[in-house]
Amino acid sequence: MSYTESWSGKINRKLLKKLHIIDVAAGREKADLVLKNATYVNVFSGELDTGDIAVAEGLIVGLGSYEGREEVDMTGKIVCPGFIDAHIHLESSLVSPAEFARAVIPHGTTTVITDPHEITNVMGTDGIDYMLCATEGLPVDTQFMIPSCVPASALDESGANLDYRDIDSFFDHPRVLGLAEMMNFPGVIS
């Protein structure tokens, strides 16, 4: 499966999102969502503050007084951020992505950034495609770093070999953030 978008289309889409975020933060446009009268931790003062939390394009863009296309009254409720697991090999949990989500959500993990290196070692790009599809729509926001070297080194055996063309084909996918860790340490040293 290949994900392609023209460079001009990609740049324009990202620019429009950023402009919307800036305009919402500045109060010039309505937020996509406003959590009205929410209590939240002010990490600078260490105190609990109350106010509106503005969200645009899935990002918290402001605290204070905002209007939104959708507004939820949070009076008497405390809002706290979810945990982000910044590096995981989700397939190494030995459960399906859906079961993984069921296990971590109750403990506060809302986002994972996964490097599907092991499944890619076995299945190649089909493994990456599977992980992208199996994590779509889960309650855990699953973002990806694409394996940089499969197999990890010339000393390893694997079920697949990836080159730059295989890796590059995934970078237009909206949940692919970048290139994963470099595991070919003999190649780096030489």
Question: Which class does domain 83-189 fall in?
Answer: alpha beta
Q: Express each pLDDT in 139-173 by its tens digit.
A: 999 999 988 866 565 666 667 777 778 878 888 89
Q: What's the pLDDT band for 27 if we cut at 50, 70, 90? A: very high
Mean pLDDT of 27-32: 96
Is the fold of 7-79 the same as that of 83-189? Answer: no
State the pTM of this model.
0.65
| Contact between 116 and 90 (Cβ < 8 Å) | yes
- Alpha carbons within 13 A on the beta-carbon side of 154: 4
AA identity, residue 120: T
Mean pLDDT of 98-115: 95
CATH ID of 7-79, from 2.30.40.10, 1.10.3720.10, 3.40.50.2300, 3.40.640.10:
2.30.40.10
Cα separation of 4 and 2, whole Å? Answer: 6
Domain ranges, ordered by start, for the chain: 7-79, 83-189
